[in-house]
Structure 1
Amino acid sequence: MAAKSANLYARIEPDVKEQAEGILSALGIPASNAINMFYKQIILHRGLPFEVKIPSARPVDMRALSDAEINAELERGYADAKAGRTKPAGRAFADIHKDYDL
C-alpha cells in the first residue's frame, strides 16, 4: 500500500460537509478514506463513477397544483392506464430514484 502523503484542499458548502460526514460517521468511514475511495473509483471508471445529467423533467409537485390541475393529472394517468402506457410500480419507482438521484 502506498504511503498517504498527498494533501487535498477543497472548499465545499458547510451544510453538505456536515450531512456527508454524519453519514460517513454512521458508516464508520473517515472522510479522508471516502475521498480516497472516490478517487480510486474515478481511476477504475476512467471518469466519474456515476452518471451526471440534468433530468429532462421533474416530478409533478402535487402540493403546488390547483384542483383543476390535479384533476387533469389524474385524467391523464387514467387515459395512460386505459391505453396500456404504464409500467410496473417497482420499475417506475426505480426509474424515479435513478432519474432524480433519490
Structure 2
Amino acid sequence: MSDTVKKKVSISIKVSSSDKKRAAELFDSLGLNLSTAVNIFIKKSISEGGLPFDVKDPFYSETNQTELNKRFKEVESYRDVHSHQLLDNEN
C-alpha cells in the first residue's frame, strides 16, 4: 500500500449537539464510535459511487402526492369547500 492510502487525516464536520449525542448513542449500541461509523459511511459511498441511500424530499412521497391529488379533485368538484367572506382591513 502506498503511504497516501495508509496515512490517516482528520476531518471536521459540524452537527448539532443533540444529533451528535443521539448518533454516538446509536453507534455505541452497535459497538462503533463516531469515527468508525463515519469511515464506514465514506467507504460505502466510495464503493457505491454516491450516497449509499436515497435522499428524497418527503413532499414528493407517494403518500403525500396521493393526498394532494385527492384534495385537488375535491376542490375541482367543490366538495367540502366552503365559501368565505373576506373582511376588509380598516385602517
**1:25 maps to 2:28:** yes
Note the C-alpha offset of 1:30: 1.3
- Structure 1 stretches of 4+ moved >2 Å: 1-4
Q: CA RMSD in A?
A: 2.1
Query: Corresponding residue for 1:53?
Result: 56
Change (3 A) 1:14 1:4: farther
Q: Matched residues, percent identical?
A: 32
Please, which runs of 5 or more residues in structure 2 have no aligned partner?
A: 68-91
Residue 3 (structure 1) shift? 3.1
Counterpart of 1:39 in structure 2: which amino acid?
Answer: I
Higher RCO, 1 vs 2 (CA within 8 Å, ≥6 residues apart): 1
Identify the residue that residue 9 of structure 1 maps to in structure 2: 12
How many equivalent residue pairs?
A: 59
The alignment's TM-score, normalised by the length of structure 1, stands at 0.52
